[in-house]
């Protein structure tokens, strides 16, 4: 009996795998079953969030396939490559920036500089008026595709996000809903579809 038809772009959360009738099946976290030979496992993302280092208000993320660390010599007003940085590296930022020939660089809390176009950065905006002092809250920036989890006014965790995808075709238009919301429920795993 077909409960639901899955199409391209449909994801399921797998609870267990079992064999039946000479075929391999997935049991979902919702108790449904799906044939394993009609699906493929999505590779886990290489991107990881970061516990925000003490004293840091901003976090940088490298999103470019190839990126470099830079050293700034203020006396010579020269910037030079001092190493490489892997994609999805995350690190604290001091908030200081320099511009050299229209290119912006952000200083890391480790002392080197990142080229702004090699990545993005997270920084929480103002807390919503509903947030009580010391209360936990999350700021999501759809433009920079980042999330900053806060404990009161102290940044605790930052991560890259994948916001909803915009499309001129109404059936494929799935923008992230904007606004201020209370967290209603949390899931370890859930079956999702656009």
Task: Dump pLDDT digits (tens) for 49-68.
Answer: 999 999 999 999 999 999 99
pLDDT for res 28: 87
Per-residue pLDDT at 85: 97
d(CA 40, CA 34): 12
On whether the CB atoms of residues 157 and 92 are closer than 8 A, the answer is: no
> Which ranges of 90-169 would DSSP assign to H, the alpha helix?
none
Read off the pLDDT of each residue in 175-191 and give the average, rounded to a whole number. 85
What pLDDT, in 10s, does the model give residues 9-52? 778 888 899 999 999 999 988 888 989 998 888 777 778 899 99
- Read off the pTM: 0.77
- Residue 110 reports pLDDT greater than 70: yes
pLDDT of residue 191: 65
Give the model's confidence band at 87: pLDDT under 50 very low, under 70 low, under 90 confident, else very high.
very high
Separation of alpha carbons 105 and 103, rounded Å: 7
pLDDT at 192: 64
If you compute the radius of gyration of the chain from its CA atoms, what whole number of angstroms results? Answer: 22
> Which residues, in sequence order, are CB contacts of 117 under 8 Å at separation 6+?
64, 103, 104
The answer to whether 61 and 48 have CB atoms below 8 angstroms apart is no
Average pLDDT over residues 91-117: 96
Q: What is the pLDDT of residue 3?
A: 78
Can you give the pLDDT at residue 51? 96
CA–CA separation, 44 and 129 (whole Å)? 36
pLDDT score recorded for residue 124? 93
Q: What is the pLDDT of residues 113-163, one digit of tens each?
A: 999 999 999 999 999 999 999 999 999 999 999 999 999 999 999 999 989
Query: In this predicted structure, what is the pLDDT of residue 122?
Result: 97
Edge-to-edge strands of the sheet including 67-73?
Answer: 78-85, 67-73, 113-115, 103-108, 90-100, 58-62, 119-123
């Amino acid at each position: 009996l077909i409960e639901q038809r899955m199409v391209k772009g449909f994801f399921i959360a797998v609870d267990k795998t079992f064999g039946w009738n000479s075929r391999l099946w997935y049991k979902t976290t919702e108790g449904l079953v799906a044939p394993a030979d009609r699906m493929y496992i999505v590779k886990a993302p290489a991107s990881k969030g970061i516990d925000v280092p003490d004293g840091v208000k901003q976090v940088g993320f490298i999103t470019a396939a190839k990126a470099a660390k830079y050293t700034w010599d203020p006396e010579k007003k020269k910037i030079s490559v001092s190493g490489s940085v892997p994609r999805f590296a995350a690190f604290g930022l001091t908030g200081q920036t320099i511009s050299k020939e229209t290119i912006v660089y952000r200083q890391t809390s480790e002392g080197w500089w990142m080229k702004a176009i090699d990545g993005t950065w997270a920084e929480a905006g103002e807390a919503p008026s509903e947030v009580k002092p010391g209360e936990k809250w999350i700021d999501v920036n759809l433009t920079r595709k980042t999330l900053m989890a806060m404990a009161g006014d102290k940044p605790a965790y930052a991560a890259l996000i994948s916001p909803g995808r915009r499309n001129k075709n109404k059936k494929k238009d799935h923008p992230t809903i904007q606004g201020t919301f209370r967290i209603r429920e949390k899931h370890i795993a859930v079956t999702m579809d656009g």
